[in-house]
Structure 1
Amino acid sequence: MRRSVRACYAGAAGYSYAKSADDVAREHGFDRVARLASNENPRPPSPAALEAAAAALREGNRYPDTRASALVEALRRYHGDYRFVTGAGMDGVIETVIRTVVEPGEKVAVSTPTFSFYALAAGAHGAEVVNIPRREDFSVDPAAFAGAARGAKLAFLCSPNNPTGNSVPPEDVEEILDRMDGLLFLDNAYVDFADTDYRPLMRRHDNLIVGRTMSKLFALAGLRVGYAFVPEWFEPFYHRAATPFALNSVSAAAAAGALADPGPVSEARDHVRRWRERFAGEVPFPVYPSDANFVMIDVAPLTGDEAAERLAAKGVLVRSCTSFPGLGNHYIRVSTGEDWENIRFIEAIRDI
């Protein structure tokens, strides 16, 4: 029966995950491991998020609101009067957007190196994926991107980019939008840690979707809450394509509670910015400038896998970037964790 498995899964490895902290701890004999591989917020969810989630859990016998209306209203209070859709993490939003617009065999463009899930999800829907390389410094050439994406039903651009950390200037994104004949999905998962605001572009372009997440700044990675700013024309079609009840009521309530509690997110943002500067100044390898809650480090002459293994042996879990398409094999990505985790990382990478 194995022949019944689709070719895109039979011969490919799928999404590449970092090692688990428990596995590293057992393998190397640590009580606790510095978890710096998954771009998580090391702090727990805000008290307001926890209280809202507990209240929603008491009604867990009922299906959630199909449109996550309370969360959408909270998003409008937080961001302004835009159109929003939600999903089970940004990944769920990405899959639903692809399902909404892409027919099998149609072209989907991806700016690389970047988050591998765009291509995995598009390929799973039968799309022809076209990778558009960034410049040597990982910046994006707007004219080249738009030209290579011509004819694509959908294109993906991540800013700040995972794993390189750099942002695309809004004026460059606008040039891409003006030149494109399809939809652009702008992944803003890490924009909360940057000084760049792409939201005004939604007022001027009806071919732009801006994806966001509650996993990073708002510390809800385990609850899987994603959302997107969408054009008004697109919203009803997204809902037709969406998996019913994809976003559970506990997660939606926690997200609405977190949006109403500004204190913890302000502290988390300041923490990230402080440690990005320390990594840049204290790590003895080239650290790329970052607008995200992580940094990318060139560990040559080591490979990313070798550096990750040596750091794991010292109780530090980081992400080797060898699985990112279009990126060399000598990079690691390091999240900003708790103070003790970051200090252990700096000490460990100096040792190797």
Structure 2
Amino acid sequence: MTFILPIRQNIASLESYSSARSILKGDQWTFLDANEGAFPGSPNLSGLPPLNRYPDPTSDALRDAIAGFYSVRRENLCIASGSDEIIDLCTRAFVRPGRGVVAMKPSYGMYAVSARINDVPFTTVELQEDFRLDPDAVLRASEGADVIFLCSPNNPTGLTIDRPVIEKILQGFTGVVVMDEAYGEFSDAAGVPSSIELVRSGVPNLLVMRTFSKAFGAAAIRVGYGIASPSIIDVLLRMKPPYNVNALSQSAALSLWNDRASMERRVQDILSERGRLMSAFERRGCRVFPTTANFFLTQFPPTVSSDEIYASLRDQYKIVLRKRSDLGQLKNVLRVTVGNPKENDFLLSSLSSLL
């Protein structure tokens, strides 16, 4: 008998998300491509639980710490294996048969991947030329959708979504709006209000995601969290795997959370380095775009090819930036993650030799 792999058609044709470390990996590189925190978090792991026991399935110590900071209840929190798990849970839980998902474009690629995995129609709304979001366009696109994914600050543009735009979408949409604030600590430092305030005020159809991968400098532990009404969180907790966040990650995340002052100092250092980098790129003839995150977009002069710059930095100097080919009419652009001062100096000196 011949074995034929039984696989769903949408999975057979699936293109996986092209993560930064799936493209290049190893210790020989200067990675300025994945928007990771420039400075590694340093959690205190002296109080680890015994490793022969399963971890707390709902990460209650971490939920309580985060809930206390944001003045919400434990029932408003779900801890997950990175924001990606919450994206997948929301797609599986809240999109009914025949309904779809809407997201802004360009934005984070996992919204589309999750929709394709779950065989859910995926619709995008193009950002305007200034990278702003048109709420009316979102609402028109969402007539057949149950979930809208928004990202603020948005990856890759770095811009936040204005509060009136968010409120108009929430008021005009009957499904779940997922606000991805992976870079929220950086916009917090700029005085931009978080959508967590809307959850706290009682908005029932909003879920806000944040992560330990960026400002906390802990991408390796894979911890994210969602804040929403108890009715939304209850569904996510019932659907998630029973031990989705391991004990090591829970302990590390709690230690990092309890030392928020260190995180906030690192954020200020990154923002200072961001300003220095952006000014240096401008002096070298590049256009830089406004941002409230730990990265920025830069457009090279017409006489310079961004593809050639990317390849030369990679091949000659082992510096990795991020290509972006989904920016509509905007061409010749790379995305730059702000590194630590040594990495940034190396990038600037290498770039000077190429321009």
What is the TM-score with the length of structure 2 in the denominator? 0.89
Match of 2:8 in 1: 6
Q: How far off its partner does 1:331 sit?
A: 2.0
Change (3 A) 1:163 1:2: farther
- Contact 2:202–2:229 (8 Å) recurs in 1: no
Match of 1:69 in 2: 60
Change (3 A) 1:305 1:92: farther
Distance 1:273 1:327 in 2: 28
1:343 counterpart (342, 345, 350): 345
Q: Which has the higher contact order (CA 8 A, sep 6+)?
A: 1
Match of 1:296 in 2: 297
Change (3 A) 1:161 1:2: farther
2:220 counterpart (216, 219, 222): 222
Distance 2:83 2:12 in 1: 25
- Contact 1:187–1:211 (8 Å) recurs in 2: yes
Q: How far off its partner does 1:330 sit?
A: 2.5
Deviation track 1:78-130 (CA, whole Å, cap 9, x = no partner) reads 22224111110010111112221123432100111011100100121111001
Distance 2:16 2:4 in 1: 17
Match of 1:188 in 2: 181
1:45 aligns with 2:45: no
Distance 2:225 2:209 in 1: 6
SS in 2 for 1:157: strand
Q: How far off its partner does 1:10 sit?
A: 3.2
Match of 1:271 in 2: 269
Q: How far off its partner does 1:160 sit?
A: 0.2
Change (3 A) 1:329 1:22: farther
Distance 1:174 1:37 in 2: 32
1:34 aligns with 2:21: no
Distance 1:329 1:122 in 2: 27
Match of 1:81 in 2: 72
Distance 1:325 1:287 in 2: 14
1:316 aligns with 2:316: no
Q: How far off its partner does 1:77 sit?
A: 2.4
Distance 1:126 1:279 in 2: 42
Distance 1:265 1:120 in 2: 31
Match of 2:102 in 1: 109
After superposing the two structures, state which structure 1 stretch, 165-174 or 292-301, moved more: 292-301
Match of 1:130 in 2: 123
Question: Match for 2:9: what amino acid?
Answer: A
Aligned length: 338
2:149 counterpart (152, 156, 166): 156
- Contact 2:14–2:117 (8 Å) recurs in 1: no
Distance 1:291 1:2 in 2: 50
Change (3 A) 1:97 1:303: farther
Deviation track 1:296-343 (CA, whole Å, cap 9, x = no partner) reads 112364555433212112231111113x47575532111111111111
Note the residue ranges of structure 2 that are not aligned, 5 or more in a row: none
1:246 counterpart (244, 255, 258): 244
Change (3 A) 1:238 1:351: same
Change (3 A) 1:240 1:276: same
What is the TM-score with the length of structure 1 in the denominator? 0.90
Distance 2:79 2:57 in 1: 10
- Contact 1:39–1:293 (8 Å) recurs in 2: yes
Percentage identity across paired residues of the two chains:
29
Q: How far off its partner does 1:142 sit?
A: 1.5
SS in 1 for 2:203: coil
